[in-house]
């Protein structure tokens, strides 16, 4: 993620949306890195997608992993995290 402030904001949004403690922040970062290493999506794009949609998706009973998977699929096709999120 290019901007530390933006990355922190994205991470806090994800932790809050999925009611995860700060101690699990590294798990979120690991998940984003793993996906960005294997698919045509950057960790920054995934962070943006999660920041935009995590709260709504969590209320709809989706897990963080499910939201990452859906966001990855959409981002690979659309290549616009503003739309995919």
Domain extents for the chain? 4-84
Walk along the chain (85 residues) and give the pLDDT tens digit of each residue.
457 888 888 889 899 999 999 999 999 999 999 999 999 899 888 988 998 899 999 999 999 999 999 999 988 887 655 555 5
CA proximity to 79, closest of 36, 41, 37? 41
Is the full-model pTM beyond 0.85? no
Would you put residue 39 in left (φ > 0), alpha (ψ -120 to 50) or beta? beta
Task: Give, rounded to a whole angstrom, the gap between the first and last alpha carbons of the chain.
Answer: 17
């Amino acid at each position: 993620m290019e901007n530390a402030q933006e990355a922190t904001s994205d991470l806090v949004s994800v932790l809050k949306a999925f009611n995860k403690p700060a101690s699990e922040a590294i798990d979120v970062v690991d998940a984003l890195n793993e996906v960005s290493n294997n698919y045509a999506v950057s960790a920054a794009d995934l962070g943006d997608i999660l920041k935009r949609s995590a709260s709504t998706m969590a209320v709809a009973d989706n897990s963080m992993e499910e939201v990452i998977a859906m966001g990855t699929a959409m981002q690979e096709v659309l290549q616009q995290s503003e739309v995919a999120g």
